[in-house]
Amino acid sequence: MITKLLKECCGVLSISRIIGISKNTVLTRMLKISKAIKTPYFQKLGCNFEVDEMFVKIGNKDVKNYLTYAIEQKTKSIIGFVLGSRNTENLKLVIDKVLLLHPRKIYTDRLNIYPSLIPKEIHKRFQYCTNRIERMNLNLRTHIKRLSRKTICFSRNKIYLEAHLRIYFWG
């Protein structure tokens, strides 16, 4: 029940009111559900991938946090994601997962860190090749309240946002 409600735009307080349990119980169950979810193993080699990052607000609004993730272009499968600052270490975690799949092309935006992480022959920086992941960003912001921009909803803890994203992507 919690999984369905999380995927249908309900926040933690909404879920606790609907089900009739405390918000701490909802958060505990959300963590338990997300730990049981195994990251799916993507087996198809030689595909095209898109990588992008989007700003998320976690706790202190002065700290810049980003959700960086990769999708396969045809199936729109989420390969991996990481929450944190937009630095080389975090981007490398996602890029390395994609590089293990021997991609034909990796499409990104014009962030200056990508050329140092992705081999030049498979890296493409073109505005219209990232349409699918930009649409996914819009879907995420629409379906998960705490990712919306200019709202009072936000995550207080990175652990809960990560759990929510695991449930949304792979649950």
Any domain includes 17: yes
Which pLDDT belongs to residue 144? Answer: 85
Indicate whether 9 and 85 sit together in one domain: no
Indicate whether 9 and 89 sit together in one domain: no
Which pLDDT belongs to residue 62? Answer: 74
Number of domains observed in the structure of the chain:
2
Indicate whether 86 and 146 sit together in one domain: yes
Any domain includes 78: yes
C-alpha span between 152 and 114 (Å, rounded): 32
Indicate whether 85 and 135 sit together in one domain: yes
Which pLDDT belongs to residue 71? Answer: 96
Any domain includes 164: no
Q: Closest Cα to residue 27, out of 156, 147, 171?
A: 156
Which pLDDT belongs to residue 63? Answer: 78
Which pLDDT belongs to residue 58? Answer: 84
Question: For the CA atoms of 56, 60, 63, 64, what is the dihedral angle to 10 degrees?
Answer: 10
Residue 56's domain is classified under what CATH number?
3.30.420.10
Which pLDDT belongs to residue 150? Answer: 63
Q: How many CB atoms lie within 10 A of CB 4?
A: 11
- 47-80 burial, b at 16+ Cβ within 10 Å, e below that, comes to bbbbbbbbebbbeeeeeebbbbbbbbbeeebbbb
HEC letters along 14-69 = HHHHHHCCCHHHHHHHHHHHHHHCCCCCCCCCCCEEEEEEEEECECCCCCCEEEEE
Any domain includes 168: no
Indicate whether 8 and 89 sit together in one domain: no
Indicate whether 149 and 86 sit together in one domain: yes
Q: Which stretch of DSSP H or E encloses residue 92?
A: helix 88-99
Any domain includes 20: yes
Any domain includes 83: yes
Tens of pLDDT, residue by residue, the chain (171 residues): 888 888 887 888 889 999 999 999 999 999 999 999 998 888 888 999 999 999 988 887 677 889 999 999 999 999 999 999 999 999 999 999 999 999 999 999 989 999 999 999 999 987 788 999 999 999 998 888 778 766 656 678 899 999 999 999 998
Any domain includes 65: yes
Which pLDDT belongs to residue 77? Answer: 94
C-alpha span between 42 and 31 (Å, rounded): 24
Any domain includes 113: yes
For residue 74, the enclosing domain spans: 48-155
Which pLDDT belongs to residue 66? Answer: 94
